[in-house]
Amino acid sequence: MLQAVSAGQAQLLETTVETLSILTRTDTGLQCRKMALESPPTLASELTSLPAMSWRRFARDLHDGRIEQICIRSDVERMKSEAEELKQLVTEGADALSAKSKQERFDEQSWDSLKSSPLYEVLREYKDVLPDDIPAELPEDKGVQHEMDLVPGTKYCATRQWPPPREEVKAIDDFFESRPNAG
């Protein structure tokens, strides 16, 4: 228990202390250590902002294999609800969404539901470019693929690897042969 004094009043603040067994890699091999954490972090942002290790060092150590396992602590209730949602999605499948759930998603995106949003005024300003009916699903892929010129105005795409036609090669060769003669 911690005791904090603020404006003449004593206030009791409850902290949790958790002992973790941590497996670390050393020069001599793997070593198990005990670490006591007071009010341990529960969010990824809290974990990455710990003073013991910078984000860059964490990423480098993870990439190099010096960190073998990561454990992120989270709120038990939130984890249970997310697990239930995930379980429900897996069992239902993507095709099993009912018309009611599609209608619910559509209603969540209506103008009336956006009134409480801070972006409502901006969205209303640009409503002429937003569709009247928001589709509930992405359109089906038609398999059409377009090729783009990377350099505007060129006859051939800059990424093509085959040699140019003989006429172009001859024109280029003639151009460079005429340059020394031109002076």
Pairing mode, strands 29-38 and 17-26: antiparallel
Whole-angstrom Cα distance, residue 110 to residue 114? Answer: 7
Whole-angstrom Cα distance, residue 70 to residue 64? Answer: 14
Beta-carbon contacts of residue 49 (< 8 Å; ≥ 6 apart): 55
This prediction has a pTM of 0.22
pLDDT digits over 16-71, tens only? 777 766 766 677 777 777 777 777 766 767 766 666 666 687 778 878 877 766 66
Whole-angstrom Cα distance, residue 113 to residue 107? Answer: 7
pLDDT digits over 77-123, tens only? 777 787 788 777 767 665 555 655 767 776 777 777 778 888 888 88
